[in-house]
Amino acid sequence: MKRLGIMGGTFDPIHYGHLVTAEEARGRFELDKVVFVPSGKPPHKKGYPVTQARHRYLMTILAVATNPYFEVSRLEIERKGYSYTVDTVSHFYETSPKDCEIFFITGADAILEILTWKNVEALLGETKFIAATRPGIDLKHLDAVVAQLPAHGSNAIYPLEVPAMAISSTDIRKRVKEDRSIKYLLPEATEQYIYKNRLYLENGIS
Ligand code: NAP
């Protein structure tokens, strides 16, 4: 394996926007495999309730089951303390062949904050980022962030337009709470998991 995609996100819950993003990135960047890594304890969500990691992990497993190029990692949910991307990427470099190239895929809104991430210099030196956006989104904010990156990082961020990113986890959680349909926004197995485990009803996560 030479080109590995790491799909980072809270996945609360995972939906078709995430799945289409990963598949599009796989094709466009000729990735051999995409590993979904649900966040354990997101450092930027201190004070915000997030669904238990085991539920987010199992929903992700159910969602990717039919794609032979997709896998799910328990790395961040098993690691103690906050989930920093630099630690995750280091782990995958250590456990991959020497010449493997890593592409970290996530939402452009998350990438806009990259200058605040732990060890950003080291991260940009070794990893390429694929920033998923919706068509029509003005990329000037992302361009402004790229302009502030250290020289070696200025070629490290690739925007990727994904129409299905109009779907959002926030909207799905709101719909469940309001007893509105979430059909066709996420895989059916994940939808049924949400109902069976009574997620997003009364636990304060919105
Ligand atoms: P977020 O703030 O919850 O999400 C920001 C936006 O990006 C939302 O619109 C979200 O849509 C979208 N998004 C999130 N993951 C995506 C994905 N894989 N593909 C496409 N769109 C995605 O971001 P987050 O999920 O918590 O964090 C994203 C990743 O950045 C995680 O892996 C996290 O660990 C990493 N991160 C690292 C640091 C650090 O190392 N210090 C700091 C912040 C974030 P939905 O809500 O619909 O998903």
CATH number of the structural domain spanning residue 157: 3.40.50.620
C-beta of residue 90 within 8 angstroms of C-beta of residue 121: no
Q: Are strands 101-107 and 33-38 parallel, antiparallel or unpaired?
A: unpaired
Q: Is residue 47 part of a domain?
A: yes
The reply to whether ligand 1 has any atom less than 6 angstroms from the CB of 73 is no
User: For ligand 1, is residue 8 a contact (CB within 6 Å)?
Assistant: yes
Domain presence at residue 190: no
Q: Is the CB of 93 under 6 A from ligand 1?
A: no
Number of the ligand 1 atom closest to the C-alpha atom of 11: 48
**pLDDT for 165:** 83
Residue 136 belongs to what domain range? Answer: 3-167
55 within domain boundaries: yes
Domains held by the chain: number: 1
Residue 89 alpha carbon to ligand 1 centre in Å: 15
Residue 125 domain flag: yes
85 in ligand 1 pocket by Cβ < 6 Å?
A: yes
Evaluate whether residue 191 is within a structural domain: no
Distance of alpha carbon 60 from alpha carbon 14, whole angstroms: 6
CA-nearest of 165, 194, 189 to 177 is: 194
Mean pLDDT, 10 residues at a time, the chain of 206 residues:
94 97 97 96 82 96 98 96 94 94 95 90 91 84 85 81 90 96 98 97 65
* Phi/psi of residue 96, nearest 5 degrees: -115, 165
pTM: 0.95
Name the nearest CA neighbour of 124 among 160, 85, 92: 85
Rounded distance from Cα 4 to ligand 1 centre (Å): 18
